[in-house]
A and B are shown apart, each in its own frame.
Chain A
Amino acid sequence: MSEPRGWKNLPLGALPYKLSLEYKTGDWRAERPVIDYTKCTRCLICWLFCPEPAIVWDGSNVMIDYDYCKGCGICAYECPVKAISMVPEYRGGSG
């Protein structure tokens, strides 16, 4: 189905039919959080406070989901051991 859809293909009552997971807000950011895993104590405070949420825990590590991270820096600020640094976002380069 081609997007944006015509009225014949929209659900009744203007019900949204896509989860916002398909809308990658990662390109909003001007800087990105980078985790130093040698310092990280896996306390999960960054996971707890991320507003998107764009931090996941896979059982042994926290990981930033850069698809959605808007670079607000709350995780870096709240980290009790300062394991996260905010690094300027470069387009096409490595952070």
Chain B
Amino acid sequence: MSAPPVSTIIDKEKYYRIWVFEPGAKSDSPLIFNLRELTSKKTPAILPGHRLCAGCAAPIIVKLASFAFRGPTIVVSPTGCLEVSTTVFPYTSWAVPWIHNAFENAAATASGIEASIKALKKTGRIKYEHVDIVVFAGDGGTYDIGLQALSGAFERGHDFLYILYDNEAYMNTGIQRSGGTPKYAWTTTTPVGRVQPGKLEHRKPIAEIMVAHKAKYVATATPAHWVDLMKKVRKGIEVEGPAFIHALSSCNRGWRHDLEIALEVLRRAVDTCYFPLWEWSPNTGYLLTDRSLAIARNPALKQPIEKYLETQGRFAHLLKPENKHLLRELQEYVDSVWEDLLKRASNAPR
């Protein structure tokens, strides 16, 4: 059991494969959580050699999500970290068909692809049971510039899954604030200075906005809670109609944290209820999941917000004694959002 490998030469062709589906292929790949089985039955949709920063959580999200794909899938990305880092010409890190159009139109592009697949199927030019369309978009291309296309695509009811990998700022262009940046976070356009302690506005409740659109499935997730994420991605794909997953994606560059705690930071985000894990669908309403459900059942598990903030340099000013009032305000805000969620979630203990 403890014998080291005989050879350390890694056969690239064996381990890193492109996805090929023969015409007529079914979308019946099972959802597997047993890691041994996973290694033999699935390969990631993303290949190594991409230029994402060391320790970036975004490719982890893509990899784990792709383990939950069920068959032929087309991926769409707007301009952002993931897009530029995985497609520096002449290289590509995508093992699946993939398209980048512009910054604000991932959802519109996905709409066009969905319509095309329908038309091609109708006229017998494409023969797959399903061709799933998955968008991997950053907060840049979603909260702000991409919100119109997202809203329009959901209103029209296209059948696709929109996964938001949220690193809470325009990271690709140098850590500028976005509509997803949390209050009091340091960014290059909301720096911590003598009169302003970082961003002054709360971030948009994007997942709740998509619930209000009456999407067919909405959920929050993190790559640290990988079983939860994979289940939710599969649900989002299987549901017919538009589905939205808000995945928190830590960024050691923009959040200023040590590289190796990328996933630990996300665990703390959930443990402090800063980023609760839940899902919503029209028939079930809000349901807490995974760690957040455990916290609802046992409130002693809920950590104070400092446990999350202390891991990241972008919040360092909040832990200074002169900013105690800001810290209190943030704790109260997180608590009120959590209480509100507890009231709405049908599986929260009463």
Contact indicator B260/A77 (Cβ below 8 Å): yes
Whether B332 sits at the interface, judged by CB under 8 Å, is no
Q: A44-B38, A51-B54 are in contact. List 7 more A-B contacts (CB 8 A).
A: A4-B90, A20-B49, A25-B51, A40-B2, A50-B60, A61-B5, A70-B53
Minimum CB–CB distance from A58 to chain B (whole Å) comes to: 6
Asked if residues A51 and B57 are in contact (CB atoms below 8 Å), the reply is yes
Contacts A16-B92, A21-B12 known; A38 to B2 CB distance under 8 Å? yes
Contact of A51 among B8, B39, B55, B264 (CB under 8 A): B55
Q: How many residues of A contact B (CB 8 A)?
A: 50
Mark interface residues in B44-73 (1 if CB within 8 Å of A CB, else 0). Answer: 101111111111111110011000000000
B48 and A72 within 8 A (CB): no
Q: Is the interface of A mostly helix, strand, loop or mixed?
A: loop
Q: How many interface residues does B have (CB within 8 Å)?
A: 49
Q: Is the interface of B mostly helix, strand, loop or mixed?
A: loop
| B261 interface hit (Cβ, 8 Å) | yes
B250 to chain A, nearest CB (A): 10
Inter-chain contacts of A87 with B (CB < 8 A): none
Please report which residues of chain A, range 33-58, place their CB below 8 angstroms from some CB of chain B when the two chains form the complex: 35, 37-38, 40, 42-45, 47-54, 56-58
Interface centre among B4, B90, B258 (most CB of A within 10 A): B90
| B321 nearest CB across to chain A (Å) | 30
> B333 within 8 Å of A by Cβ?
no
Q: How far is the CB of B93 from chain A (nearest CB, A)?
A: 4
Are A18 and B90 in touch, CB under 8 angstroms?
A: yes
Task: Provide the B90-115 mask, 1 if CB < 8 A to any CB of A, else 0.
Answer: 11110000000000000000000000
